[in-house]
């Protein structure tokens, strides 16, 4: 299944590749080898774009006290930090880096009430840069669970990802593992949980959005 966010990009890609191959055939009608090279490269590029926007069906891992990964990728940060935008106190941060080859659907790590949402314009530092969490283009979402625990997570644009899409707003009730947004062409998601939360993953561990349990809330 192809994600709806890919329809425009895929259409443009098809049109450009068709035009390029048509021009090559028109200008070089007798150079079949060159035509075939362009055709093979075009097919390869199209496959890359299609796989980027894939949206496979999943069987989510659900649980009121569970914090599930909001994205496919690799855990690149597990540390105690000062969260300065909303909590303004220390929290445990878990960061998941998404390469261009990961599924880029973003999912709610917990279910509950959206207490806070804000979009920030910003830079496009590489996603693993320490300042990308606070200086890159990003969104910040805080969801309060039924038990009253608040979990904050950020969609962060990277050097290639220059468009963040979100489907949530303040005051909305959301379900755990439902789609909350999409980041185009590689980036990262940060999750902030209370100090003392049990962390279930390790650095460099590969995680799956909506399925891997990152942490267990008290």
User: 66-216: what CATH class?
Assistant: mainly beta
pLDDT confidence of residue 106: 95
pLDDT confidence of residue 23: 92
pLDDT confidence of residue 3: 77
Token pair 């790590």 in the structure block, residue: 109
Weakly modelled stretches of the chain, pLDDT under 50: none
pLDDT confidence of residue 172: 97
pLDDT confidence of residue 161: 55
| Domain coordinates in residue numbering, the chain | 4-52, 66-216
- Among 107, 44, 117, residue whose Cα is nearest residue 72: 107
Catalytic pick from 42, 69, 95, 187? Answer: 187
Q: How many residues does the chain have?
A: 218
**Residue 95 annotated in active site:** no
Long-range contacts of 127-133 (CB under 8 A, 24+ apart): 127/97, 127/98, 127/156, 127/157, 127/158, 127/159, 127/161, 127/186, 127/187, 127/188, 128/76, 128/97, 128/188, 132/156, 132/158, 132/188, 133/93, 133/95, 133/190
**pTM score, whole prediction:** 0.83
Q: Would you say 96 and 75 are in contact if contact means Cβ atoms under 8 Å apart?
A: yes
């Amino acid at each position: 299944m192809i994600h709806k966010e890919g329809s425009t990009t895929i259409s443009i890609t098809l049109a450009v590749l068709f035009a390029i191959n048509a021009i090559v055939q028109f200008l070089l009608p007798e150079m079949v080898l060159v035509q075939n090279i362009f055709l093979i490269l075009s097919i390869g590029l199209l496959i890359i774009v299609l796989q980027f926007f894939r949206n496979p069906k999943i069987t989510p891992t659900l649980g009121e006290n569970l914090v599930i990964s909001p994205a496919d990728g690799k855990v690149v940060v597990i540390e105690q930090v000062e969260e300065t935008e909303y909590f303004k106190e220390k929290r445990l941060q878990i960061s998941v880096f998404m390469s261009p080859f990961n599924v880029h659907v973003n999912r709610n790590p917990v279910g509950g009430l959206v207490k806070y949402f804000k979009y920030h314009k910003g830079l496009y530092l590489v996603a693993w840069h320490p300042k990308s969490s606070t200086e890159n283009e990003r969104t910040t979402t805080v969801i309060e669970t039924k038990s009253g625990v608040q979990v904050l997570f950020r969609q962060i644009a990277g050097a290639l990802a220059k468009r963040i899409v979100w489907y949530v707003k303040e005051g909305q009730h959301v379900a755990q593992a439902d789609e909350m947004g999409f980041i185009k062409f590689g980036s990262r998601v940060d999750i902030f949980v209370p100090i003392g939360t049990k962390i279930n993953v390790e650095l460099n561990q590969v995680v799956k959005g909506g399925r891997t349990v990152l942490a267990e809330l008290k």
